[in-house]
Amino acid sequence: MKEYLLLFRNASAADGYLTTNQDMAEDMPAWQSWIGSIAMQGKLVHTAPIEYNASIVSSEGLQSGPHKENNSVLISGFLICKTDNPDEVQDWSKTCPILKYPLSSVEIRPLIPFPAN
């Protein structure tokens, strides 16, 4: 089975996530159901939300804070799944709970395995 990385993108506030703790608590059953349906098929590899705090290392040095797009959208979580059918990953993504928020999206990236020599 091929593995896929799903990146969850969401709008942010100036110094933190836009969603409140209450929003996250209210959304938890939807996330548990959505992730659970993938896991019950034996196709979940790993998933986690990502803390807001970050460091960016570049050739120009170290910078504090997460990378944000011009519209304050940033990656807030990820999921790695596996399947033989890429259409299945798109179908899962279309029902992701993150999509209820403005400017949110799910980016699907196929993973390339390292050669096993």
Residue 117 lies in a domain: no
In a domain, 115, yes or no: no
Answer whether residue 116 is part of any domain.
no
Per-residue pLDDT of the chain (117 residues; tens, 9 = 90+): 999 999 999 887 777 676 767 877 888 999 999 999 999 999 999 999 988 888 999 899 998 888 877 778 889 899 999 999 999 999 999 999 999 988 899 999 999 998 887
Q: Is the overall model pTM greater than 0.85, yes or no?
A: yes
CATH number of the domain residue 20 falls in: 3.30.70.1060
Note the pLDDT of residue 41.
97
Q: Measured between alpha carbons, how far is 51 from 41 in angstroms, rounded to an integer?
A: 28
Q: Quick one: which of 97, 88, 101, 90 has its CA closest to 12?
A: 101
Q: Are 1 and 44 in contact (CB under 8 A)?
A: no
Asked if residue 93 belongs to a domain, the reply is yes
pLDDT attached to residue 18: 67
**Domain boundaries, position 82:** 2-110
